[in-house]
Structure 1
Amino acid sequence: MVEKDKKNENLAYDTTINILKRLPVKSLVRFKCVSKDWLNLSNSPYFISLHLHHSTLLLLFQRIPLSNNQSQSSSSSSCLIGQDLKVHNPEFFDFALTDKIIGSCDGLLCVKHTNNHMLSILNPATREIRQVPEILHDIKSFSYFGFGFSPIVNDYKVVRISVSDEDRILDLDNIRVSLDLDDIRVTRAEVYSLTSGSWREIDATILQTLYLMSNSVTANGVMFWQAFATDPDAEILVSFDIGREMFTLLEGPPLLPSTSVTHSHTNVLAVHNNKLAMFHCFINGGIESCSIELWVLEDERWVKQYSVGPSARMLYPICIWRDEIVFREELYMRIGEYSAVETVLSLFNPYSDELKTLPAQKDRYYYVSFNYVESIVPVANVHHEQ
């Protein structure tokens, strides 16, 4: 009889977990008050990881002003889109236009507050926030950031790579304009650990002859940036192993030689099935059509996943979401004597050739995007199991 009661008790416990792991974060936060057992369960590393792996993957956009003089908007700077392609819970992302999301990982966001040059790590779903302490060196100098998680050391980390001169650089997210390349060489790097709650300087000697030229992406415990040395066409990728805290360099995928048909190209870093990927984007003829290739790094070897196009529209890939490509299209218009740019966002399935318009605003902003999940991962201490 005792053995039967124990089996029933275990069955009830397993059923409870099976139900709770599928609930939205808002409900789980409320249910912490039900009992001490439910409170302990929701704070356990096992359940946090279980709930994370059952969370729905969402798409987060942030609107970036195209100029520093652009007037502030009364609407939120962010837009969260669900798998039904509708806007979800925008109140969770009420950031100012001066705040910039650096990275998204397991429901945590790393945000740079431009007004005071400080960093925060927050969980928007639970409304927890941690103010990152001041960096070892002056944070006002121009920097590239990365944010990610390493299952090897069970820790979330922020990386800051500094360049030598902020004043001579125009920062427009992926666009860097400088009067002299010698002014934007990497000078130092620091890493912040969520577990230790502190910064420390790390060896960046391997980067000191490089010029970084992109925001970062994180895949499988490694951060990546695009860079070049003296030849802008000789592209290099910088990788940072979050667990080992070590920088290495690798070559990007092979480029097709330029022809009379294809006169320019751009490269965009992405993540495909938790592996590093890169889009090669080619402009064909004038500015009337484009085509893209997606390359994925498989076991230290670049493999071409697919090609798309040529397309009669100028579509710029931003990221990959649920195996589909998020595109940005810039529409140029004239209003009286002035020209204006409006941004249209779309989602493209490379296997069915279906193109869908996303419900973000058509406006005069630059958009960056992130994959995002709601989670109960804490920001005060790391309680995470993979």
Structure 2
Amino acid sequence: MAAKGKGNGKRKGKGKGNSKKTKSKPPDPTSNCIFPREIISNILSRLPVKTLLRFRCVCKPWRNLISKPNFIDTHLHRSSSLKPTFSPILIHTLHVKYTDHVLSLVDSPESSVTELDNPFPFFYYNMVVVGSCSGIVCLCKPPWGDLITLWNPVMRKFRTVQLPKKKPLLGVHAGVSIGLAYDSQENDFIILSLFCFREESRVPVEVEMCSMKSFCWKQVKNEVGFRVIRPCCNVIINGVPYWTALLEDKYGLRDVLVYFDVDRKVFDKLPMPGITVGTQWQLVNLEDTVGMLIWAKTVKHNIDVWVMHDEDGWSKKCTVGLVLGFDRLIGCLRNGDILAEDENGVLLLFDMVTSSVKAKLCIDNAKRGSSVIFNYSESLVLIREMLPVEKETARDKQHRENLLKAGINLKIISTDDPQQANWVNRIV
């Protein structure tokens, strides 16, 4: 009985059974860790984007950390400064049957080609990839630069950009050329819209730019006085877009390379290397430097690699001898690997140093000769008011097939002009 009385005493009143239950916040997973919170943030900022997306599900503190702008900027800076052993590439192809625009991603030579959900409306048959910088890809509809779309493939989000109030004039303008730039100091993406006059008019392009912070278009002076004929910029290097252009001055009409100076918000020009008659060339990003691949039209084995130095100008880096040869040269990866297409439509990845084949890339149902590549770096960067990319449904595919059966006449216009390494689709 004594034991029973002891059990009913004051100790019981202070026990857990009579105490008021309070809801406590979940403990911070870093509070009992041997590493300070700054160290954990440092470790996470060095991980790949796909790993971080999975780590968002670990706990709310980690999800909040990975979503913070400071963390995203730190992660972007560190991933951009790394010298890659392999450069991820975005591949744009046409479907051999439906003329769909297929966008695919290759992470490494060992990985398979991953088809992405295209945010561009399927019922638009005209689409070009302008380029990519800091994880954001720009898409638009030529020849007038309509439906400009910014898209983060890894985050699966996109948004469209309002077009400038100025409209191109039919019969006066030949088209609009779109470029994408990134201002790392202001952490701001910039869309450039170049209104291209017809070649016979010899009038320099008129330029407008739109900041993704304000989403307002304003005019940019074309003090260089250049003209372009491409639907988009040739290449984007470190957030700077480059165009091959024509310039007429006291020395006559000549080819130049123009770029948008992101810091000063003006255009500037660079000379072109001496290109002999009977050769083809392509402007590329070679280890974050302006580079150019030059090869003969008839002998498709040797490729001359040129690079631009700020002080010394253009210089020849090396000559790559591809033993297997190629039917069509597609481009160059950021780390220097060369991608070409053989006579069977297979994409071959060549090592620039050894000239050996590192990998063979196969894209299902890709139209031969339609592949275009873009260097891509994954990032957590998002632009405000981005929306999730919806997966294409079977109903969408059926609608597209019905349109084709209805008798819409499609014609894909390609060009062998080396200045227009990309292609433009037009409905006729």
The question of a shared fold, defined as TM-score above 0.5 by the shorter chain, is answered with yes
- Post-superposition offset of 1:232: 11
Which amino acid letter does the alignment assign opposite residue 15 of structure 1? I
Distance 1:232 1:310 in 2: 38
Who is 2:404 aligned against? none
Alignment of 1:254-333 (within 5 A): 254-255=274-275, 258=276, 264-283=278-297, 287-300=298-311, 301-309=313-321, 312-329=325-342, 331=343
Shift of 1:104: 0.7
Aligned with 2:362 (options 351, 359, 363): 359
Distance 2:46 2:327 in 1: 42
Write the distance in 2 (CA, Å) between the matches of 1:304 and 1:105.
Answer: 26
Deviations 1:188-229 (A, max 9, x none): 111111122121111014235x34457321223432111234
2:181, 2:239 within 8 Å by CA — same for their partners in 1?
yes
8 Å contact kept, 1:144–1:162: yes
Residue 208 of structure 2: aligned partner:
190
Distance 1:16 1:150 in 2: 25
Number of residues of Structure 1 aligned to a counterpart in Structure 2: 336
Alignment map for 1:184-263 (pairs within 5 Å): 185-208=203-226, 210-213=227-230, 215-229=233-247, 234-255=254-275, 258=276
Structure 1 residue runs without a partner (length 5+): 166-180, 332-341
Change over 3 Å in CA distance of 1:9–1:357 after alignment to 2: closer
Find the aligned partners of 1:79 and 1:88 in 2 and give their Cα distance. Answer: 6
- The answer on 1:345 being equivalent to 2:343 is no
The TM-score with structure 1 as length reference comes to 0.74
Structure 2 CA distance for aligned equivalents of residues 373 and 23 of structure 1: 10
- Cα gap change, 1:186/1:63 in structure 2, threshold over 3 Å: closer, same or farther? farther
Could you tell me which amino acid in structure 1 is paired with residue 290 of structure 2? Answer: L
Q: Which structure: greater strand fraction?
A: 1
RMSD: 3.5
Report the CA distance shift for 1:348/1:16 in structure 2 as closer, same or farther (over 3 A): same
Q: Deviations over 1:88-110 (max 9, x none)?
A: 54234465453322111111111
C-alpha distance after superposition, 1:47-106 (max 9, x if no partner) = 2134333488411110158xxxx86246x6112112134335423446545332211111
1:40 corresponds to: 64
Q: CA 1:116–1:349 in 2, change beyond 3 Å: closer, same or farther?
A: closer
Partner of residue 170, structure 1: none
**Aligned pair in 2 of structure 1 residues 23, 251: CA closer, same or farther (>3 Å)?**
closer
Q: What residue in structure 2 maps to residue 90 of structure 1?
A: 115
* Residues 30-55 of structure 1: CA deviation (Å, up to 9, x unaligned): 726822x3343123233213433348
Quote the residue 1:175 is aligned against. Answer: none
What's the offset of the Cα at 1:15? Answer: 3.2
- Equivalent residue of 1:366, what SS? coil
Instruction: Extract unaligned runs of 5+ from structure 2.
Output: 1-29, 387-428
Rg (Cα) greater in structure: 2
Q: Determine helix, strand or coil for the equivalent of 1:239.
A: strand
Q: Report the equivalent of 2:98.
A: 72
